[in-house]
Amino acid sequence: MTFKRLTQGLVAAAVLAAPVMASAAELTIPSMVYRTGPYAPNGIPFANGYADYFTLLNERDGGIEGAKINLIECETAYNTKQGVECYENVKNAGGGALVVQPLSTGITYQLIPKAAVDKIPIFSMGYGRTSAANGRIFPWVFNFPATYWSQATAFIQYIGDQEGGMDKLKGKKVALVYHNSAYGKEPIRTLESLSEKLGYELMLLPVDHPGQEQKATWLQVRRERPDWVLMWGWGVMNQVAIKEAASIRYPMDHFIGVWWSGSENDVLPAGEAADGYLSGAFHAPGDGFPAHDAIKHYVYDAGKGAGERDRIGEVLYNRGLVAAMWTSEAIRNAMQIHKTKNLNGTMVRDGFEALKVDETRLTELGLPGFTYPIEITCENHEGPGKVALQRWDAKAKTWSVVSKFYDPLRDTTGPLIEEDSEAYAKENNITPRNCS
């Protein structure tokens, strides 16, 4: 009987589905990845970088301060419903997850209220809810080293520099091509507020998920000829936008993507035409750092690499790497603060809140000059918020950082963060904690 066998199989599967238990003093870190779906081209390198760094720590140092890391991957396909399932599945794995990196703004929004209840810190590195930078209202969420709002102000400052001064922005036209979702909408308020101050005209051009069809958007760009185009895109939307921009001959050096729109995957399909395209960045590209050599030696030579060897050092790979680096430093910090290796989410949260990674430490980690020093405090979960711009060289097929690291315009973002987080606190009956 087919059905009988099927039922037996299902029962067996259900029995096997009991959660996996891990041994003591192991550090359980879930990794919510998307290696499938329309965002997979961007999700894969990030996930590989994240996994490889932890594998390196396990292989070379025997974990963090001797405690092995147990990285559990869970596939979300960048879908919030699957993300929630993943989170519920992994949060109690191995005695409790220590930190969650949701890797999607939508999933981050779902998890922010849960984190405080489950006592698991969320590290939404450079994505998620910007106003979570206010540590008084969001004690469990960390979005350093910079937020979308800081990044928007950095782009406007760069544009000001190129135009010859912030006062020259008056009368200019800036277009924002954005993924029509919570993520893509993040910078709008900041850009609007800056446009009131500086007098440029802001054009909003939403692109619907997944962003494969953008003809109409770019026709509008061609007709209106904005002086600058900013893009908040992700996944397949990025490469389509860059190709479309190339096809209407929009000058690439006036086209700036968010740091999620600036990886090799996004520019390579457009070929030569993508030359000079700019994007935000908070860490260096390339695989020329001692840590990369260590990963090749300890991880890939041992056959334990998560991805392909020749893709080490891609922008998003390095992004995963830097996320893993800060995460592991926060865990190390938590061990020092609480003087134990048996950590829980609350302790790791303390580790994050007192995190300080300076240049000396970066050099020790084999990443000298890879990113800028950060320092997290109780009030400020965003950290320094600095953003630089990197440019794509289509001939050499490399990214290089071409600007200084811009400090965010805190007098613009500060009140906005305050306002948005206060609104959240009011809607959800949260009393801001006292940080002093």
Partner 1 sequence: MLYREAGQFKTSYQADQAIFPILQDRWFVVTFLLAALAVVPLLINDYFANAVFLPFLIYALAAIGLNILTGYCGQLSLGTGAFMAVGAYASYKMMTAFPDLSIIVVFVLSGVITAAVGMLFGLPSLRIKGFYLAVATLAAQFFIIWLFYKVPWFFNYNATGQISAPPREVFGILVTGPRAEPAATYIFTLVFVAVFAYFAKNLVRGRAGRSWMAIRDMDIAAELIGIRPLTTKLLAFGISSFYVGMAGALMFAVWLGAAESGETFGIDQSFLVLFMIIIGGLGSILGSFLGAAFMVLMPILLKQSMVDGLGLAAVTAKHIEIILMGCLIIFFLIVEPHGFARLWQIAKEKLRLWPFPH
Backbone angles phi, psi at 308, to 5 degrees: -95, 145
Q: How far is the CB of 38 from partner 1 (least distance, A)?
A: 12
Q: Is 85 in the site for partner 1 (CB under 8 A)?
A: yes
Return the number of the residue (106 or 139) whose C-beta is nearest partner 1.
106
Residue 345 to residues 8, 231, 431, Cα–Cα distance (Å): 39, 35, 21
First to last CA, the chain: 70
Q: Is 203 in the site for partner 1 (CB under 8 A)?
A: no
Q: Is 21 in the site for partner 1 (CB under 8 A)?
A: no
Q: Is 195 in the site for partner 1 (CB under 8 A)?
A: no
> Site for partner 1 (CB under 8 A): which residue of 27, 56, 188, 322?
188
Q: How far is the CB of 205 from partner 1 (least distance, A)?
A: 13
Task: Please tell me the distance from the alpha carbon of residue 49 to that of residue 67, in angstroms, as a whole number.
Answer: 20
Q: How far is the CB of 5 from partner 1 (least distance, A)?
A: 13
350: tokens are 């303390």
Task: Please tell me the distance from the alpha carbon of residue 326 to that of residue 282, in angstroms, as a whole number.
Answer: 13
Q: How far is the CB of 189 from partner 1 (least distance, A)?
A: 5
Q: How far is the CB of 177 from partner 1 (least distance, A)?
A: 15
Is 179 in contact with 217 (CB distance < 8 Å)? Answer: no
- Placement of tokens 């800028």 in the chain: 372
Q: How many CB atoms lie within 10 A of CB 25?
A: 14
Number of residues binding to partner 1, judged by CB under 8 A:
54
Return the number of the residue (209 or 296) whose C-beta is nearest partner 1.
209
Give the binding range for partner 1 (CB under 8 A) out of 31-39, 261-269, 331-339, 344-352.
31-39
Q: Is 73 in the site for partner 1 (CB under 8 A)?
A: yes
Return the number of the residue (240 or 274) whose C-beta is nearest partner 1.
240
> Site for partner 1 (CB under 8 A): which residue of 22, 25, 36, 341?
36
Strand partners, 283: 371
Return the number of the residue (82 or 239) whose C-beta is nearest partner 1.
82
> Site for partner 1 (CB under 8 A): which residue of 38, 95, 96, 106?
106
> Site for partner 1 (CB under 8 A): which residue of 7, 8, 10, 196?
10
Q: How far is the CB of 130 from partner 1 (least distance, A)?
A: 8
335 three-class SS: helix
219 three-class SS: helix
Task: Please tell me the distance from the alpha carbon of residue 227 to that of residue 70, in angstroms, as a whole number.
Answer: 49
Q: Is 17 in the site for partner 1 (CB under 8 A)?
A: yes
Q: Which residues contact 190 (CB under 8 A, 6 or more apart)?
A: 148, 149, 152, 153, 412, 413, 416
> Site for partner 1 (CB under 8 A): which residue of 180, 220, 377, 398?
180
Is 73 in contact with 47 (CB distance < 8 Å)? Answer: yes
Backbone angles phi, psi at 399, to 5 degrees: -95, 145
The residue among 184, 227, 183 whose CA lies nearest residue 202 is 227
Cis peptide bond N-terminal to 145, omega within 30: yes
Q: Is 75 in the site for partner 1 (CB under 8 A)?
A: yes
340: tokens are 């134990």
Q: Is 66 exposed, middle or buried (0-12, 13-18, 19+ CB in 10 A)?
A: exposed
Q: Is 133 in the site for partner 1 (CB under 8 A)?
A: no
Q: How far is the CB of 245 from partner 1 (least distance, A)?
A: 23
237 three-class SS: helix
Scanning residues 334 to 353, which ones bind partner 1 (CB under 8 A)?
none
Q: Is 182 in the site for partner 1 (CB under 8 A)?
A: yes
> Site for partner 1 (CB under 8 A): which residue of 119, 168, 185, 311?
185
Give the binding range for partner 1 (CB under 8 A) out of 126-134, 167-175, 246-254, 289-297.
126-134
The separation between CA 370 and the C-alpha centre of its own chain, rounded to angstroms, equals: 16
8 three-class SS: helix
Q: How far is the CB of 84 from partner 1 (least distance, A)?
A: 6
Q: Is 311 in the site for partner 1 (CB under 8 A)?
A: no
- Parallel, antiparallel or unpaired: strands 201-207 and 173-179: parallel
Q: How far is the CB of 37 from partner 1 (least distance, A)?
A: 9
Q: Is 153 in the site for partner 1 (CB under 8 A)?
A: no
> Site for partner 1 (CB under 8 A): which residue of 68, 114, 168, 338?
114
Cis peptide bond N-terminal to 19, omega within 30: no
Q: Give the interface with partner 1 as residue ranges (CB under 8 A).
A: 10, 12-14, 16-20, 33, 35-36, 73-75, 77, 79-81, 84-85, 88-89, 91-92, 105-106, 109-110, 113-114, 116-118, 129-131, 180-183, 185-186, 188-189, 206, 208-209, 416, 420, 423, 427-429
